[in-house]
Amino acid sequence: MNILSINTSTNELELGLFEDLNQIATLKIMTNNQLSEVLYSTIEDFLLKKSLKISDLDGINCYLGPGSFTGLRIGISLVNTLAYSLKIKIVGSVGKDWIKSGNQKLINHNDEKMLLPFYGAEVKVTTPKK
Task: Report how many domains make up the chain.
Answer: 1
DSSP 104: H
Beta strands in 1-130 (DSSP E): 2-7, 12-19, 22-30, 59-63, 89-93
Which distant-in-sequence residues (6+ apart) come within 8 Å of 110 by Cβ? 89, 91
- d(Cα 24, Cα 103) in Å, to the nearest integer? 13
Q: What is the CATH number of the domain that holds 11?
A: 3.30.420.40
- For 23-32, what is the mean pLDDT? 96
- Per the structure, the complete domain to which residue 78 belongs is given by 2-107
Is residue 72 situated within a structural domain?
yes
Mean pLDDT of 9-23: 96
Which pLDDT score, from 0 to 100, does residue 128 have?
Answer: 82
Asked whether residue 128 is assigned to any structural domain, the reply reads no
SS3 40: helix
Residue 26: strand, helix, or coil:
strand
Tell me what pLDDT residue 26 has.
98
Give domain status of residue 120, yes or no.
no
pTM over 0.85: yes
Distance, C-alpha 20 to centroid of its chain: 16
| pLDDT, tens digit, 9 for 90 and up, residues 28-72 | 999 989 999 999 999 999 999 999 999 999 999 999 999 999 999
In a domain? residue 115: no
